Structure 1
Amino acid sequence: MPKVGIRLPSFIPNEGSNSPGEVFRYLRSIEELGYDSIFTIDHLQTAAPTYPVNWFDCLSMLSAVASVTKKVRFGPLVLVLPLYHPAWLAKSLATIDYLSNGRLIVGLGVGWSKAEFEAMGVPLSSRGKIMDESLEILRELWTRDNVSFDGEFFKFHDVSIEPKPIQKPYPPIWIGGGNQPFGKIYGMNVGDVTPALGRIARYADGWSHHLSSTAEMISQDWNVISRLAQRFGRNSEEIEIIYSNFIFVVRKRTDYEKCERALARITTLPFEEAKKTYLIGTDEEIIGRLRRVPLATGRVDHIVLNPLSWDLEQIRTISEKIMGEMQGE
């Protein structure tokens, strides 16, 4: 039975108000409605053409989630790891895990926005190698004291961080990545994803494939991950499979117009193409699509749904009409 979570519609601007009180009310409502988890996206700036909007800061939002909820798991999905110094990030994430009494999930990605990497002075072409070093450093600093590291990108001596994470040995690490068809739409070259799949096979406690990936792509990627996991002495059954997608539940015909306006604020993807990729439709139509999701891999352990606005009615409808169906209730 998969867990079901919400990824926050944390883009700015948005329809209606984004006052702090409304954001906190939204976070509390997710927990009160029985969802298992809350996630947030991570972007420094607008990442056009894919996301022509800006976003709340990821780590600040995670601190807010920790402060106003009591039970739900939460985390970034995904945080662009190569844009952060791993020693500082290890301390920040460990502190959030500590303050939330061990509820953090650490979703990480390699990133893709050239503009963001240029703004941070990080070479885009080296992001895979930087991420590998960063993953090693995170795990070391979360589990040991007096850590020294001598890598190509990071070098330090005798570093310890406190607090250590509540979860032992450290919070679950989810890693996003894999093949996707959006290169044809946005003119971006996805390239060889084998290194990314190898990273997932080696380090990940959970794998989140791209929301645009076809069933064939997901199946092929999972077969590669499973094979590579064996090389690293791991059983792929230990790796959770996460399905994540944008969602808009249509209750009446005029909702399609509302959905199209909401989508136009966050993506340049044509609406007809978006309807094929994202979960847009009636609750029955969305349930039908979600039921087909496990066919590519044999299972799905966590479903993360990303509403297109801060409309509380959307998360209520998902909870009442969709969540129970997906969890076999």
Structure 2
Amino acid sequence: MKISFGVPISGPWARPDNMRAVARRAEELGYAGLWTFQRLLYPEGHAMGPVYRSVHDPLITLAHLSAVTERIELGVGVVNAFMQPVMLAKQLATLQTLAGGRLVAGVGLGWLEEEFTASGVDFAARGRRGEEFVRVLRACWSEEVVAHEGEFYRVPPAHMDPKPEPGPPPVLMGGVAEPALRRAGRIADGWMSSSREDLTTIDQKIAQVKAAAEEAGRDPAALRFVVRGVTKVRTGERAPLTGSYAEIRADVDELAAKGVTEVFHDLNFDPEIVTAPAQEAMSRAEEALEALAPAS
């Protein structure tokens, strides 16, 4: 089981100095990875809550942190299919090379229709779009001459260089419905859970992904299963990854037993963190970073 950490990317505590401090300390403590997430916009009057109100770009954040770290993985969970895949392929290839091969690319279908509208992309048929999206990404990273004619995307024969070094980043897919889980098993390098996932039954989702992989002639044991840990340090309140530090660590062990290969503690999804003054939020985060660090 890998233990990772979500960098400050949402709310007042998501300042450059705090991002760098968390990244450096996480690497020193032996965390496996640093993770970001994407929220393009917040529709006026929407009920999403404070977590999504003010969010930095996930890829530019990781590019910045790649320059102040050396070994720790850099994951985005997730970028959504309202983006243009050829342009995204170029960005991810560059980031993979600059980071020395440490990138993990999470891809999602998206669920906020206003983001698709603002990006000029049809919200319908997102499942088929997501599958083609991944095909285009991988073609850009691996084919000498990229040429694609699909339902959603057209790429005229062209060179897309330089290729990512030392190789393409692994692609994980999100999603909660059975078609999304099966899609991850068929075409992705793994699956990652959403912030709203019921972690008590996550083994059932993992089983569906593995079954689809096996049906497609792929090795289920090679897949990664990453949990976004909506981690909340509380007294007298219990849910998976909510409670005391000892209880949270026990929850991580239980997730490993269910087949999860990586958990990243994401304090960005704690309303008490993203609404607190930056200094207070950072103080609490620094304590959690130390207390939840992987065993040496």
> Same fold, TM exceeding 0.5?
yes
Deviations 1:233-284 (A, max 9, x none): 112111111122122334xx6xx9xxxxxxxxxxxxxxxxxx5556332212
| Aligned residue number for residue 252 of structure 2 | 290
**Is structure 2 residue 264 aligned with structure 1 residue 304?**
yes
* Equivalent runs, 1:51-200 vs 2, <5 Å: 51-52=49-50, 53-80=53-80, 82-168=81-167, 170-178=168-176, 193-200=177-184
Letter in 1 for 2:27: E
| Aligned residue number for residue 263 of structure 1 | none
> Does the CA-based 8 Å contact 1:249-1:314 persist in structure 2?
no
Letter in 2 for 1:116: E
Following TM superposition, by how much is the alpha carbon of 1:286 offset from its aligned partner in structure 2, in angstroms? 1.5
Distance verdict in 2 for CA 1:23–1:214, change over 3 Å: closer
Following TM superposition, by how much is the alpha carbon of 1:76 offset from its aligned partner in structure 2, in angstroms? 0.7
After the TM superposition, list the runs of 4 or more consecutive aligned residues in structure 1 that deviate by more than 6 angstroms: none
The alignment's C-alpha RMSD in Å is 2.3
> Does the CA-based 8 Å contact 2:7-2:22 persist in structure 1?
no
**Is structure 2 residue 227 aligned with structure 1 residue 204?**
no
**Is structure 2 residue 234 aligned with structure 1 residue 238?**
no
Letter in 1 for 2:260: V
Following TM superposition, by how much is the alpha carbon of 1:215 offset from its aligned partner in structure 2, in angstroms? 4.7
For structure 1, which segment, 57-66 or 240-249, has the greater mean C-alpha deviation from structure 2 after superposition? 240-249
Letter in 1 for 2:56: F
Letter in 2 for 1:61: T
Q: Secondary structure at the match of 1:78?
A: strand
Q: Secondary structure at the match of 2:266?
A: strand
Q: Secondary structure at the match of 1:77?
A: strand
Q: Secondary structure at the match of 1:54?
A: coil
Deviations 1:140-199 (A, max 9, x none): 11011211100011112112222211133x111111122xxxxxxxxxxxxxx2221121
Letter in 2 for 1:153: F
Q: Across the two proteins, how many residue pairs are aligned to each other?
A: 282
TM-score under structure 1 length normalisation: 0.78
| Aligned residue number for residue 10 of structure 2 | 11
Give unmatched runs, 5+ long, in structure 1.
179-192, 257-274
Letter in 2 for 1:287: R
